[in-house]
Amino acid sequence: MTEEELKGKIAIVTGGGAGIGRAISIALAGAGAHVVIPDLNLYDANGTAEIISKTGGEALPLEADISDPACVDLVFDKAKERYGCVDILINNAGTTHPAVSILDLDLSFVESIFAVDYKGLYLCCRRAVKEMSLAKGGSIVNISSIAGLTPLPLVMYGPMKSAVNMLTRILAREWAHCNIRVNAIAPGYVLTPLMEGMINRGLRDPSLIIERTPMKAMLLPEDIAEASLFLVSPKASHITGTILTVDGGWTSDGGWTAYPR
């Protein structure tokens, strides 16, 4: 993508301070967009903004809890005050929980994952379509997960990502007449700082992940950034309601490995 393709566009990337969100923010800025970076951790958001500014880009870091409706409104208000109405929303902020039985998952995880992974995303979508409908156009990309497509031992995270996928399709249909496109990306296992932390604590085994992945590699945050850039670009002008799986073939495996060859 050239720097001109998104020149002057206003983008909000929730959870843009680290990992996938940071990679997406940097990529959008590199394509010419002005990027607003709301994150629970202002230090991380500032770090992303600093990287962008060093390459001549424009970014606004904000401390924000997207599960709070007033905070979501404040993010969009500040974005509008600085740059104008939002053209692009990347709903990336999210959290997860240990891979345990439903009998063992603490209810605090249930509440936090609903609050961030679904409620926060929902609130951001609601405010975005309000602005985009007046402007008669815009693009929303929701960062989902393969956990929303195939059963993994994540009894709250997986169902919330399935809900994100359905919300994506519903909003795509509801707002197509306003030229608002709504898509989702379902990443596989991405080597983010969060994933690295889980690996270091013995909560994930990278060798098992790589062995199970047909393309024999974990994804990088930049892989999801490139997919996001495509979906918000003019090249995807007729793509809406799609769940784009970026997983190295993980969900294509099915029962393939059960048949010795």
Task: State pLDDT tens for residues 77-94.
Answer: 999 999 999 999 999 998
pLDDT of residue 202: 86
Active site residues: 157
CATH architecture of 10-244: 3-Layer(aba) Sandwich (3.40)
d(CA 38, CA 56): 20
Going from N- to C-terminal start, the domains of the chain cover 10-244
Which tokens sit at 84? 């104008």
d(CA 4, CA 50): 21
Q: Edge to edge, what strands does the sheet with 88-91 contain? A: 58-63, 34-39, 10-13, 88-91, 138-143, 180-187, 243-246
Confidence (pTM): 0.94
Helix (H, G, I), strand (E, B) or coil at 2: coil
User: Which of the residues in the chain have pLDDT under 70?
Assistant: 1-3, 254-261
